[in-house]
Amino acid sequence: MATVEELNVKEKMQWCPGCGNFGLLTALKGAIAELGLKRHEVVIASGIGCSGKTPHYLGTYGFESLHGRPLPVASGIKLANTGLTVIAEGGDGDGYGIGAQHFVHIMRRNYDLTYIVHDNQLYGLTTGQASPTSLPGMKTKTTPWGVIETPFNPIAYAINGGATYVARGFAGDIPHLKDLIRGAIAHKGFALVDVFQPCVTFNYLNTYPWFQERVYKLEAAGHDPRDRDKAMEKALEDSRSGYKKLPIGLFYEEDRLTYEDQLPQLKDKPLVRHDISDIDISAAYEELE
Ligand code: SF4
């Protein structure tokens, strides 16, 4: 079992002081430790962005992939070795922008994966351009007169798109976020944890105090995550309240067969444990000659 200390790495962190990524990483380490997972049984696959550095800062296996591609990499790892705990993570620009098509199709397959999104409502690594979740009116380098598009709603999208565990946390509330991530990893199926992660360097609108004034916990409000209609209602509360009320917690959860569970060839053991010593692929080579 990995302790939080064992999950620490010596590499110098390059995130800005005060960045919400620190709270998120602390919560992730706490969740892995509390679940009693072993370091060599956990793989974290990231995309590109400030969030993409997370695998470098966590003492498990890791894979920093391409922009928007953590989900296809994570699902490939899961299919190759269903015995692993696989976590994908990236930013809002990475996952809800260029990676949106993967998000849509991987969700509906319900692989047993956890997807953590560092949602700071802009592109941080490229110094502050509007992203799919930037709020209307937000001024950035690419929107000097303010954003005029409707923000992408990842929670509503995930509930509608087939995710079987849909949660949102806040990097300023680490114990609560840790519990959500722990629940997501323990859940059998595709789990989304969208995280309000303040970017203290480029986002002057969505700051820690801004979130603290608006977030409230679904559990305290008596929300039933098995009620899909109510979950969708809560997911739409952001825009309906003019972004004055932002629920955090577990919106939705359901039990459904995973993609892997439905593949007979993976029923008895992971793909990597199959004996391939008697498989002759010379015919395929000859065809390519
Ligand atoms: Fe964090 Fe923003 Fe700095 Fe990136 S640019 S490390 S998101 S504060």
Q: Is 16 in the pocket of ligand 1 (CB under 6 A)?
A: yes
What pLDDT shows up at residue 21?
98
Domain that holds residue 124: 4-263
* Residue nearest ligand 1's atom 1 by CA: 19
Does residue 289 lie within any of the structural domains? Answer: no
> pTM score, two decimals?
0.95
Does the pLDDT value for residue 12 go beyond 90?
no
Does residue 274 lie within any of the structural domains? Answer: no
Mutate to test the pocket of ligand 1, among 46, 56, 129, 202 (most ligand atoms within 8 A of CB): 202
Summarize pLDDT for 103-134 with one digit per residue, the tens.
999 999 999 999 999 999 999 999 999 999 99
Contact (CB, 8 A) for 81 and 107: no
Contact (CB, 8 A) for 104 and 110: no
Q: How far, in Å, from the CA of 197 to the mean position of ligand 1?
A: 9
Number of domains composing the chain: 1
Summarize pLDDT for 252-279 with one digit per residue, the tens.
999 999 999 999 999 889 999 999 888 8
Does residue 8 lie within any of the structural domains? Answer: yes
Q: Is 120 in the pocket of ligand 1 (CB under 6 A)?
A: yes
For residue 44, give the amino acid letter. Answer: I
Distance separating the N- and C-terminal Cα atoms of the chain = 49
Kindly report the CATH number assigned to the domain that includes residue 159: 3.40.50.970
Does residue 101 lie within any of the structural domains? Answer: yes
What pLDDT shows up at residue 5?
87
Nearest ligand 1 atom, CA 127 = 5
Q: How far, in Å, from the CA of 120 to the mean position of ligand 1?
A: 9
With vertex at residue 18, the alpha carbon angle to CA 15 and CA 22, rounded to the nearest 5 degrees, is: 60
Q: Is 81 in the pocket of ligand 1 (CB under 6 A)?
A: no
Does residue 18 lie within any of the structural domains? Answer: yes
Does residue 244 lie within any of the structural domains? Answer: yes
Summarize pLDDT for 198-226 with one digit per residue, the tens.
999 999 999 999 999 999 999 999 999 99
Burial (CB < 10 A; 0-12, 13-18, 19+), residue 120, is buried
Q: Is 258 in the pocket of ligand 1 (CB under 6 A)?
A: no
Nearest ligand 1 atom, CA 128 = 5
